[in-house]
Structure 1
Amino acid sequence: MDEYLLIESQGPWGGPGAERFVDDAVRLRAAGHDVVLLLIENGVTAALAGAGPTGPADAPGRGLRGLLDGGGRVWADAFSLTHRALVPDQLLPGVVPVEMDEVAARLLAPGTRGVWH
């Protein structure tokens, strides 16, 4: 199966495209693909517990919670978190802060497909 590194830079208030992109990650994982969703820039706000106008990040079976529960991984860019005064304790359980060297290694790994939104 393919490996995907999906990169989301918009937060929950960035419009419906961000939520659909996360749901695409859930569908890819459900189809058996290895999926890492990287949240960067304002996208890291989606990883806050109860994020979004309707709370899609922690809705069962969808959003970030659905991806994590389905065996996908969610990474949050440590630099973006710091610049928004966010700390790991504020994130949904299972969301992992990462540095860019980890992201680069994943992106350059053979067989990884990178998709940026």
Structure 2
Amino acid sequence: MNAGTARPGGTASYFLIESKGNWAGPDAGAFLLDGAALAEAGHRVRVFLVEDGVFSAVGTGTPGIERLAAAGAEILVDDFSAAQRALGGPDLSPHARLAGMDVAAAALTEEGCRGVWH
């Protein structure tokens, strides 16, 4: 790990973008669990759900979202993707918040942030 990607204490910052829905197969859920594992290891993790990935944050009790939240990850839902699927704030997990692409762009341009799109 080079010095440009490390945070104090040797941890990294990750911005994970999930575009696949829950029904897209085991990889969709596995990606969220990978994010939770990174957060549990002490890394800064932000998950941005876009396209059909927004369905992962609908309702309460979604295992991937619950584990991410418990690990301290920030869970963001693309406001445009949610609106295109007739989802609003009340439809989402209390652990998630709506955010625009400007938030994603800012995060991805932060020094040392590692972006991963699934």
Show CA shifts across 1:38-74 (max 9, x none). Answer: 1000000110015xxxxxx623xxx111111111111
| Whole-angstrom distance in 1 between the partners of 2:42 and 2:67 | 14
Give 1:49-60 correspondences, 5 Å limit.
49-50=59-60, 58-59=62-63
**What is the root-mean-square deviation of aligned Cα atoms in Å?**
1.0
AA aligned to 1:26 is: A
Tell me whether 1:16 sits opposite 2:17 in the alignment: no
| Whole-angstrom distance in 2 between the partners of 1:75 and 1:102 | 9
AA aligned to 1:9 is: S
Instruction: Report the equivalent of 1:3.
Output: 13
Unaligned runs of 5+ in 1: 51-56
Question: Percent same amino acid at aligned positions?
Answer: 41
| Whole-angstrom distance in 2 between the partners of 1:58 and 1:38 | 16
Instruction: Report the equivalent of 2:77.
Output: 76
Runs of 4+ in 1 over 6 A off after TM superposition: none
**Contact map agreement 2:65 2:95 (CA 8 A) in 1:** no
Query: What SS does structure 1 have at the residue aligned with 2:27?
Result: helix
Instruction: Report the equivalent of 1:53.
Output: none
> Which has more radius of gyration?
2
State the Cα distance separating 1:83 from its structure 2 match: 0.3
Show CA shifts across 1:79-100 (max 9, x none). Answer: 0000000011010112010011
Tell me whether 1:44 sits opposite 2:45 in the alignment: no
Q: TM-score, normalised by structure 1?
A: 0.89
Q: TM-score, normalised by structure 2?
A: 0.88
Show CA shifts across 1:12-42 (max 9, x none). Answer: 0011000000000010001100000110000
Paired residues in the alignment total 108
Give 1:55-66 correspondences, 5 Å limit.
58-59=62-63, 63-66=64-67
